Amino acid sequence: MPFAKYARIYSPYTSIEIITAIAIVGALALIAALNILPKQMQTKEVRARHEILQIITQIEQYQQANNRYPTTQEGLRVLPGFSNYFKDPWGTPYQYDYPGKRNEYDVFSFGSDGKPGGIGVAQDIGNWQSETGQTNHFSAPEPD
């Protein structure tokens, strides 16, 4: 077979071209990841805020039906439709304190780190205002 030795000699791409193409694809993947990951964290925060508002609505309905708020020991289990719904977007159960430290009752998520406190994306998300008077994500609705 005389053509077999020529098939090895001629390559459509040089190693420099292949390395360059891999570097470009890697750079594009990095740029895409840096733009997508913060949006995913922001989406989880928005979802947590929305779910906390829904929990607050259920707590208020419970209060109207029973003339009292659930105790901290009872927690969110006594609310109708209790299920895994009461886990935040990071898989940690929502927290509930009555009486609350910041409001009549506190409903909150520990955020992305699953621990109390935190800064930035790991900040707790709840129905209170920060000590500086600025809204910490959102405030609880005023009771009627």
Residue 131: pLDDT band (50, 70, 90) is very low
On the 0-12 / 13-18 / 19+ scale of CB atoms within 10 A, 81 is exposed
- Span 50-61, average pLDDT: 89
Q: Supply the pLDDT for residue 7.
A: 52
Which stretches within 10-111 are classed as H helix?
15-66
Contact 69, 63 (CB under 8 A): yes
Whether 27 is covered by a domain: the verdict is no
**Residue in this structure with the two tokens 């707590």, named with its chain if needed:** 59
Instruction: Quote the DSSP letter at residue 1.
Output: -
The pLDDT tens digits of the residues spanning 89-103 come to 888 889 999 988 888
Q: State mean pLDDT over 71-76.
A: 89
Specify the CATH number for the domain of residue 77. Answer: 3.30.700.10
With a cut of 80, say whether residue 129 has pLDDT above it.
no
Contact of 55 with 79, CB cutoff 8 Å: yes
Q: Please tell me which of 50-54, 78-82, 127-131 the model is most confident about, judged by mean pLDDT.
A: 50-54
Structure token pair of residue 44: 């989880």
For the ranges 36-40, 49-53, 79-83, the one whose mean pLDDT is highest: 49-53
The confidence band for 3, taking pLDDT boundaries of 50, 70 and 90, is low
* Band (106; pLDDT cuts 50, 70, 90): very high
Number of domains in the chain: 1
Helix (H) or strand (E) holding 106: strand 106-109
Answer yes or no: is 24 within a domain.
no
- Whole domain around residue 96: which residue ranges? 45-126
Return the structure tokens found at 18: 């292949």
Does residue 117 lie within any of the structural domains? yes
- Residue 2 resides in a domain: no
Count of alpha carbons within 13 angstroms of residue 45, beta-carbon side: 16
